[in-house]
Amino acid sequence: MAQRQGSFVKYLIIGFSAAGANAAETIRRLDPDGEIIVLNGESRSFYLRLDLEGIFQGKPVEQLMPRPPEYWPEKGINVRLDRAVGIDLKKRQVAAQSGGIYGYDRLLIATGARPRKLDVPGCDLAGVFHYHTLDDALAIYDSRARVRHAVIVGGGILGLELAHAVLTFGWKVTILVRGSHAGSPIVDLSGSELVLASLQRAGVGVLFHEQAAAFEGDSRHLCAVRATSGKTLDADLAAICVGVEPDVSFLQDTGLLTDGKLIVDGKMQTAAADVFAAGDAALVRRGEKLVGCNMWNVASAQARVAASNMCGMKAEWREDVLYNLDSLFDQEFALIGPWDDRRLSGRAIHEFRTENAYRALVMRDGVLESALLLGDRTHDRRIRKLITQKARVEEKLDRIFDPDTPPDYFI
């Protein structure tokens, strides 16, 4: 049990998504008697953000919650529906939106990410939504009876997920894509044809090199979306899905940010004593490289490391081979390894296409470093094993997807 001057430790956690919830549980396991307060800036208890699409299939809210709300007080974890607005590091206090002041001995910042805003006229009209939280999904779902045409601004993973979900309502759907292809930044232009073909088969309209210039309304409700090209689309609903950014703006005057970034070491500790961070809010320093977190399992692992160190242990976050399973519209994909590094110097991308699949393997000095399997992820476990073992496969690529060739052949 962690103690401070003979008294119980006060743990304060800001944020209640994957990182915050996992940290609270880890602290309680390691320190049965410490005081744990969690500031939850949302109106809901901890839920699975990855399963928001289930709302559009009629899934009850309770099924998105891995723990019932009463679980947390039963564990002695005090969850407050309040948002942090500032930190006084000298006084070891956090100021909240309600006006409350929360003291701490050990602090974890786990505020995650927030949706990027569009600074265009009409964003405050009824019928204009973001798609990021459970409340966002519920608000869009509750609009289903009155919507005929929805315009989704953004053709990344969230925009495509929402388009796929709302088609079940019989809506006409149009996606505005700022760049040259849908599915960015996960898939490059050369691999995006598979996603575009799926959208076209489903009857989804896609306008490339377009962004919303204004949301136009009558009697304060959305009537149309005006695109940057000047084209106007009649619309009953618009959803802004233009990416996310770390939710750290409340830290501006604390000295915790470096060029606007919240940087931690391998122990998930910030530059301030007894202040830790994990998940999407933080960047982990690895030599000269800053490693971000945009996966649920990574946020959870980082939170467990931070919580262990908050309890006086010596834990280190180890960057395992990243492994993410998701979908772009209706095309499942597996993303394995440091895929975001694929355009760095010294990398070579090898592409494999079939009618129903796109696969890209990234080599560095002949060694398999990362991969994207889109449309068919049958061999994801094999590829993950080869990346983990740093297999030199460049001269054997013709057999890498052959099910009759054992993985040891490439080692």
Tens digits of residue pLDDT in 6-49: 468 999 999 999 999 999 999 999 999 999 999 999 999 999 99
Q: Does residue 78 sit in the same domain as residue 132? A: no
Q: Are residues 166 and 148 part of one domain?
A: yes
Checking if the pLDDT of 294 tops 90, the result is no
For the ranges 4-18, 276-290, 318-332, the lowest mean pLDDT is seen at 4-18
In a domain, 232, yes or no: yes
170 found inside a domain: yes
Flag the least confident range among 208-212, 259-263, 320-324.
320-324
- The pLDDT assigned to 285 comes to 94
173 and 256 both lie in a single domain: no
CA dihedral (88, 312, 45, 293) in degrees, to 10, reads 80
**Shared-domain flag, residues 198 and 264:** no
| CATH number, residue 287 | 3.50.50.60
Compute the distance between CA of residue 280 and CA of residue 245 in angstroms, rounded to an integer.
8
Domain count, the chain: 3
Q: Percent of the chain having pLDDT more than 70?
A: 98
Q: What is the mean pLDDT of the chain?
A: 94
330 pLDDT exceeds 50? yes
Given a cut of 80, is residue 4 above it in pLDDT?
A: no
Per-residue pLDDT tens over the stretch 268-284: 999 999 999 999 999 99
pLDDT digits (tens, 9 = 90+) for 203-222: 999 999 999 999 999 878 99
Q: What is the pLDDT of residue 7?
A: 63
Query: Do 138 and 90 belong together in one domain?
Result: no
90 with 31, same domain: the answer is yes
Domain shared by 108 and 133, yes or no: no
pLDDT tens profile 100-131: 999 999 999 999 999 999 999 999 999 999 99
**Looking at residues 155-176, what average pLDDT do you find?**
97
CA 168 to chain centre: 24
Same-domain status, 65 and 157 = no
Q: Is residue 189 domain-resident?
A: yes
179 pLDDT above the threshold of 90: yes
Q: What is the pLDDT of residue 2?
A: 59
Same domain assignment for residues 134 and 225: yes
Instruction: Tell me if 334 is assigned to some domain.
Output: yes
Question: End of a domain among 221, 242, 263?
Answer: 242
Q: At CA 9, angle to CA 6 and CA 14, rounded to 5?
A: 165
- Give residue-wise pLDDT tens across range 63-107: 999 999 999 999 999 999 999 999 999 999 999 999 999 999 999
Q: In what order do the strands lie in the sheet with 172-177?
A: 128-130, 237-240, 149-153, 172-177, 205-208
Which residues, at least 6 apart from 326, have a Cβ–Cβ distance to it below 8 Å? 157, 332, 333, 335
Q: Which range marks the domain in which residue 381 is found?
A: 323-410
pLDDT of res. 6: 43
Write down the pLDDT at residue 320.
79
pLDDT of residue 5 exceeding 70, the answer is no
**Residues with Cβ < 8 Å from 220, sequence gap 6 or more?**
125, 126
Mean pLDDT of all residues in 52-68: 94
**Closest to 159 (Cα-Cα) out of 146, 177, 145, 133:** 177
Domain C-terminal end among 242, 268, 290: 242
| pLDDT tens digits along 374-404 | 999 989 999 999 999 999 988 889 889 888 8
What is the pTM assigned to this prediction? 0.92
Asked if 233 and 266 sit in the same domain, the reply is: no
